[in-house]
Structure formats: structure tokens, C-alpha cells
Amino acid sequence: MEQPDYSYESAAQRCGYLRIAGVDEVGRGPLAGPVTAAAVILNPDNIPIGLNDSKKLSAKKREAIEQEIFDTGEVAIAHASVEEIDEINILRASHLAMERAVAMLDPAPDYLLIDGNLIPRGLELPSEAVIKGDGKSVSIAAASIVAKLCRDRLMVDLAQQCPGYGWEKNAGYPSKQHKDALAVLGVTQHHRRSFKPIHNILYQDQTTGI
């Protein structure tokens, strides 16, 4: 199985860049909760073994590697809220979270490797968009792991506030339990009202009450 490596980072180093950050986000698809981004600068002399796309790793492996990332690298995590998602759309909100994460790295990076095919317009540093980058660049893979675990834990906390939706398991994604709970329990403050399934529920509720 192909795994991410340090080739993108090495290419940037050959161009004179020294502080290279991988940037990724998680949480575009859920019906509830924020979108979360991480920016990670790895130590080229101490890269955690087994880095890969977070979706391809077991929960136990993700957590073990996450600890190594924090121990050996530089990490920043940021969010864009449900309100921001609804106001500016999920793509722009995910980019906003990325911009915030990068801004939190101090000293600042001098080059960015960004997962996806777009570079957020608020990032003025030299940058490279890498499609499916979490499976190609170890720095992006590290950011993917950190962002996912942070958001998963946040959704466990929100599940305690709003039980019944299964967020501790589905992380706000539209699982059967989540959709069934929406039909019975309704929409919470943590749901994304700009997303069609949530919008439809609210709209139907309003028309039913007329």
C-alpha cells in the first residue's frame, strides 16, 4: 500500500524553505459540529513511523502517532464554528479554519503543503495544494491525524450535551442513528442550518405550523 513520504517537503527544502507545514481539515461532510483544521511542522530528523491518511489508520494507531506528532513536531489546531459555516459556506469555513491554524504557528512557517486542490485565499505564504495530500505528504498526513482526533473528541463532548444523536460514534456525519434522531428529537444549536437535510427539516417544520 502506498504511503505518504517526505518527497514534497524535500522538494521545498531544495528551494530554500526550512519551516514547512502540512495543513489539512476535517469535518466538511457532517451535519453537526465545527470544521477543524491542523497545521503541523515535522522535525525532519524525527518523523513518526507509520504516518498515513488518518482514515486508513486504526483508532489505536492514530492516537499513538498523534502523541508522537505532539512530542516531536510543532502543532496548531483551529476551528470554524457552525455559525460561520452557515454564514460563509462550508468551503470558505474550512479554509478559514486552515488560515487560523497556520496563523497560530510561532515562529511562522515559510512554506505550506495544503491538502486538496485549492489554496485558501487568506494564506499569503508560498504554498502548494496537494490533491489527496494526506496520502502523499507526511506533514499533511500528520495534520490529518491531529485534526481528526481533535474534532472527534469535541464531538464526544457535544454528544454529552445533546444525547441521542450518536455524535460520539458518528462525529456528526449523517449516519442512520443521526438521521433517525433528527426526525424524533429535532435540530440542535450544533446543527448546520445551511446543509440541505437540516434546512429541509426546519422548513418542513415551519410549513407544517402554518
Q: What angle do CA 57, 81, 202 make, to 5 degrees?
A: 105
Smallest CA-to-CA distance from 197 within 177, 210, 208, 183 is with: 183
Do residues 63 and 173 make contact, with C-beta atoms less than 8 angstroms apart? no
* Separation of alpha carbons 4 and 52, rounded Å: 6
157 is in an annotated binding site: no
d(CA 125, CA 108): 9
CA–CA gap between residue 177 and residue 39 (Å, rounded) = 32
3-state SS of 87-112 is HHCHHHHHHHHHHHHHHHCCCCCCEE
Is 115 part of any known ligand binding site? yes
Dihedral class, residue 13 (left if φ above 0, else alpha if ψ from -120 to 50, else beta): alpha
Q: Is 66 annotated as a binding residue?
A: no
Distance, CA of 137 to CA of 199 (rounded, Å): 37
**Binding-site residue set:** 24-25, 115
**Binding-site residue set for a divalent metal cation:** 24-25, 115
